[in-house]
Amino acid sequence: MALQALQSSGVAFRKILSHFPEELSLAFAYGSGVYRQVGPSSDQKNAMLDFVFTVDDPVAWHSKNLKKNWNHYSFLKVLGPKIITTIQNNYGAGVYYNPLVMCDGRLIKYGVISTNILIEDLLSWNNLYVAGRLQKPVKIIAMNENVALRSALDKNLKSAVTTAFLMLPESFSEEDLFIEIARLSYSGDFRMVVGEDKTKVLNIVKPNIAHFRELYGNILQENPQVVYKIQQGRLEIDKSPEGQFTQLMTLPKTLQQQINHIMDPPGKNRDVEETLLQVAHDPDCGEVVRLGVKKSVVYSSLKLHKMWKGWLRKTS
């Protein structure tokens, strides 16, 4: 599986992980504290470390973590693990974050997500939040033998490639592709309009081309719709209406529905396949797909932003 190429046996990450309950189906670290970035986030040594923990039973996991790490939680800890899990599952893109935690001498933040909710996001892009993180290089610290999760992780990467193909010209570079992929989860993200560095995507991709290549290389070589010239770092794809229709039909369900909503005139209620066939023949196919991605991301990013503001207000 492509994602396994980026698994890490880093002792520092595993020491941090040892402070938490062990029942994790997936744990990964991401962001500027893990992979070098250029620009304002280039101080890797002092950057906050970001983690996501995926758990099969969030109530049981939070119950154990509250006993081990009571001080990590905001005022919500007094409400107990069931209420925390309800908030986790229903607000903020399905993730519950404990920010600004000192652990093993490093400042960290960690998010907790249900395995089932993550699998659904990886397959359907309901939020494209954690799924979006996993489209970029991450350090896998722990992963169990959950076949459905492993399959969904691989499908998420393939969906990212297909979506990027639809927004790119017939011929392009590896860097062009990886920039489009990295940009997916930031399209429509509130933070990219207010607050965060507008060049963030370039800062992520440029120092990490080799890591992106390691993550996506096998998928690109096995894709029948692309000519991957590895030595030149160039790719050519099928931009015929037939080729684009094939790609559109494999997109995640939520993105297909967003495209259908954009293109379907009020009252007509066409089915998704009919709309995608029309889009495949449209010269602006790539822009329609881009708008669909933006609409998929904007809602979850606003939800998460409101949740973060609430936490920071309550913990300050």
For the chain, domain boundaries: 1-146, 154-306
pLDDT, position 195: 45
Averaged pLDDT, 231-250: 96
* Helix, strand counts (H, E) of the chain: 14, 8
pLDDT, position 227: 96
CA–CA separation, 121 and 132 (whole Å): 9
pTM: 0.88
pLDDT, position 313: 47
In the numeric block, which tokens belong to residue 307?
């949740």
State the amino acid at position 23 in one-letter form: E
Poorest-pLDDT segment among 21-30, 166-175, 194-203, 259-268: 194-203
Place of tokens 């896998």: 140
Averaged pLDDT, 134-162: 96
Averaged pLDDT, 157-162: 98
Averaged pLDDT, 52-71: 98
Of the candidate CATH numbers 3.30.460.10, 3.40.190.10, 3.40.1130.10, 1.10.357.10, the domain formed by 1-146 belongs to: 3.30.460.10
Q: Please state, rounded to an integer, the average pLDDT across all residues of the chain.
A: 88
pLDDT > 70? residue 41: no
pLDDT > 90? residue 265: no
pLDDT > 50? residue 45: yes
pLDDT, position 269: 75
pLDDT, position 307: 53
Question: H-helix or E-strand containing 147?
Answer: helix 147-167
Poorest-pLDDT segment among 30-39, 141-150, 270-279: 30-39
Higher pLDDT, 205 or 190: 205
Q: What is the three-class DSSP state of 54?
A: strand
